[in-house]
């Protein structure tokens, strides 16, 4: 009887995970000598969350150090540190430029945006060029805000945009934070779409290979 209940519970849990929301928070900070990126994934209405932290990220290095925390509302359950060889992982990855672009488009289609914070302090030690950069930055943020408001699932979200110009010194300090949610079945649909399009591209390449006479 116990085994029958266990077999019955597994598909119910799988269905529950497909329909329950997955809350994702991405934050990034770039200061003068400081770079931090973190990703928090909340499952089961944030009862369980995974936090991946990259304390210092240099894109031209091959190794990437990360810290992953598993925590619940009661506290931290465990921490895992990883060393990732970026060159090796990227060479084996199926995430081509086409896949990444399609993934972004699909995410914008499915996600529900809750919060978007973009703040920057910029200075190039020249008042004229700093003012130009400030104007260009506000134009980009305005166009982004206009685009997001026209998307179906991003009409009501918290936003905080700010650009502070520093006219008399060379300065750069940026902060980005974005919180959104999607459901497990939507992640499954994104994965299936990427897999199908990848197979289509391989078939096209195979058809375009000239046959030997």
One-character DSSP codes across 101-137: HHHHHHHHHH-EEEEEEEEEEEEES-HHHHHHHHHHH
Query: E strand or H helix at 177, and its extent?
Result: strand 170-183
Q: Which of 26, 198, 211 is nearest to 113 (CA)?
A: 26
pLDDT at residue number 104: 78
Domain ranges within the chain, ordered by starting residue: 115-173
Query: Alpha-carbon distance 209 to 213, whole Å?
Result: 12
- pLDDT higher than 60, residue 212: no
The DSSP secondary-structure symbol of 75 reads E
Q: Considering the entire predicted model, what is its pTM?
A: 0.73
- pLDDT higher than 50, residue 192: yes
What are the phi and psi torsion angles at 41 (to 5°)?
-115, 120
Percent of all residues in the chain with a pLDDT value above 70, rounded to a whole number: 68
């Amino acid at each position: 009887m116990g085994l029958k209940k266990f077999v019955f519970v597994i598909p119910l849990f799988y269905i529950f995970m497909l329909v329950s929301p997955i809350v994702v928070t991405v934050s990034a900070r770039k200061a003068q000598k400081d770079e931090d990126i973190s990703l928090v994934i909340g499952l089961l209405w944030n009862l369980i969350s995974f936090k991946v932290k990259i304390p210092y990220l240099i894109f031209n290095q091959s190794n990437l150090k990360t810290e992953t925390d598993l925590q619940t509302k009661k506290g931290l359950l465990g921490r895992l540190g990883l060393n990732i060889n970026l060159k090796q992982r990227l060479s084996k990855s199926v995430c081509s430029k086409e896949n990444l672009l399609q993934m972004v488009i699909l995410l914008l289609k499915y996600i529900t945006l809750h919060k978007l914070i973009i703040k920057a302090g910029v200075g190039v030690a020249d008042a004229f060029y700093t003012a130009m950069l400030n104007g260009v930055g506000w134009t980009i943020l305005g166009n982004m805000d206009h685009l997001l408001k026209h998307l179906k699932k991003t009409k009501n979200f918290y936003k905080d945009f700010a650009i502070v110009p520093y006219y008399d010194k060379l300065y750069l300090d940026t902060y980005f934070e974005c919180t959104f949610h999607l459901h497990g079945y939507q992640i499954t649909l994104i994965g299936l779409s990427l897999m199908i399009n990848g197979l289509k591209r391989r078939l096209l390449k195979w058809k375009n290979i000239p046959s030997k006479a």
